[in-house]
Amino acid sequence: LLSGNNINTNNIVHAVVEIEFPTSVPKLNGPKNLKEGNKLFEKGDYDRAAMHLWRAVLMQEQNKDKYTVDDCFGKFMQCFSIQGKTADGFVYIAQESIGRAQYPMAKMYLNQALAMDPDHSDGNLLKDQLEAMGIYADDNNDSSTNKRRRTITSNTNNDQDDDDDDDLFLEKTPAELYEMASTHFAERNYEKCADVFEISCVRSQMQLSPSCANAVYCRNMIIDWGFNGTQFDADMKRIEQIAIDEIEQFRSSDDKNSFEWSRAMSTHPHMMLSYPLRNSTLKRYVAESAAFTEDISQRIVGRGEIKPLPADLPYTHDHQSYVQTFVKDKTKLRIGFVASGFNSKAVLYLSHDMFRFFDTTKFEVHIFSLGAPDSPQFIKFGMRGVDWRKRVKANVDVFHDVQRFQNNHIELARYIRKRDIHILMEWDGYARQGDRAQGLFALRPAPIQIWHQEYLGTSGAQFVDYLFTDIVTSPPHLAELYVEKLIYLPNHFFSKGH
């Protein structure tokens, strides 16, 4: 990228100086920095947390088996956004990228910072210094008054695509472009990831289906539907064809109730649910493939090796013995709710009041929370003193903080089974990958398992017995598309306390 420019990067004066706080954590120990960063984040010490989390980001490549980039990068950015200083975070990354001669990345993050705050003093100082050295060239030779305006290119055919991007794409394989687009997606840069996923798809001659499907989803995120919706129509045909091809390629079946999937389909169930397809059965197959691989995907170790399940899993249950126990002993029903969002999430905002209405003479209510509580500072300033998690705790029998099992569905299943839960409800559906209890229901920790609230379609799973819904969300004439028995609520599928 820089050949022939004779740039001496030692002359660059960094606009943002990292403050070195006293710490006993070694700089080059990724897992320890991640742990320290998370601990400081929970204490509300966001500046020091950001320093440790960024070190964890830099060391992730050497610790692929211990944590992912998403484990640390998202919370790193939250250290700034929770203080209303998101642009500072982008400038921080831009500076760090320059220090590693990653100039296109530096430019991208600097653009995002200045798009949020065109007058950001440190960002503009860094930009001016890079421009003076020929690294940061204006794309359109704007006048000084327009110099700091962000240029967004959201179409792969746009003649104003960044030259740097063209250089980056030139030698990339479809798989490498997929990884690049996934990074943009994690950063919520949907314009960029829509383009890169599409280039990956086309370069693979439409064979890399995850790229082809994700390009459609990202275009929908930015409402890029083409002239008179022609792009949207073409995208829906693409999604249908991907599904038809992958059903034939990855699914084997002897009869209606006996089937196997060699891998999950490329379109995510939540994405598929929103598409107005001519063949709705395809949505069921996408969910079915995700369900079949739920547990298996959590047991993959090393280079594709699948760790075997313990001999006692999945659990089996004698339903008749439960019935006899209730009739004879008048036992309370133990109901469990498992989710990642028992904090300031929209689902809990709407639903936290429902726990006040359980008849305590008949029901014993347990919460299994995989998500972290909100920090005291966020509750005080962001929530104005309102703690929904605390409200839930006050109205249930037992609140289990099970964060330690977030990525261990086997131990989580054992933990829940020991509590002898009769009915277990899951609130996340297929959302919140990496945070939810992925693979848990496949191990059958409870005799009756129900999905509720987050996902409106069929789970496609043989381990989900019931689905709470309503007649508008799941019209009775479409019941054959569901594998679960449908429990119709009288007004609305969502349990709202407002």
In angstroms, the CA 139 to CA 107 distance is: 12
In angstroms, the CA 305 to CA 287 distance is: 24
- Report whether pLDDT(385) > 70: yes
- Report whether pLDDT(6) > 50: no
**C-alpha dihedral sign at 97, 99, 104, 106:** positive
- Report whether pLDDT(168) > 50: yes
Q: How many CB atoms are located within 10 Å of the residue 159 CB?
A: 6
- Top mean pLDDT of 43-47, 222-226, 246-250, 352-356 is at 246-250
Q: Confidence band (pLDDT; 50, 70, 90) for 492? A: confident
Averaged pLDDT for residues 214-229? 88
pLDDT recorded at residue 96: 83
Averaged pLDDT for residues 308-323? 89
- Range from 191-195, 346-350, 360-364, 474-478 carrying the lowest mean pLDDT: 346-350
How far CA 447 is from CA of 90, 274, 424, 489, 491, in Å, comes to 48, 31, 8, 22, 27
- Report whether pLDDT(59) > 70: yes
Residue range 269-280, pLDDT digits in tens: 999 998 999 998
> What is the per-residue burial (b if ≥16 Cβ within 10 Å, else e) of 307-317?
eeeeeebeeee
Residue range 69-94, pLDDT digits in tens: 888 888 898 899 888 888 898 899 88
pTM: 0.65
| Helix or strand run (H / E) with residue 467 | strand 466-469
- Report whether pLDDT(176) > 70: yes
Q: Where are the beta strands (DSSP E) in 160-207?
A: none
- Report whether pLDDT(218) > 90: yes
Count CA atoms within 13 Å of residue 54 on its CB side. 21
Residues of the chain by 3-state class (helix, strand, coil), percent to 5: 50, 10, 40
Give Cβ neighbours of residue 383 (< 8 Å, ≥ 6 apart): 344, 374
Average pLDDT, the chain: 82
Residue 72 carries which side chain, given as an amino acid letter? C
Residue range 96-151, pLDDT digits in tens: 887 777 777 888 888 888 888 888 888 888 888 777 666 665 443 333 323 322 23
In angstroms, the CA 105 to CA 58 distance is: 14
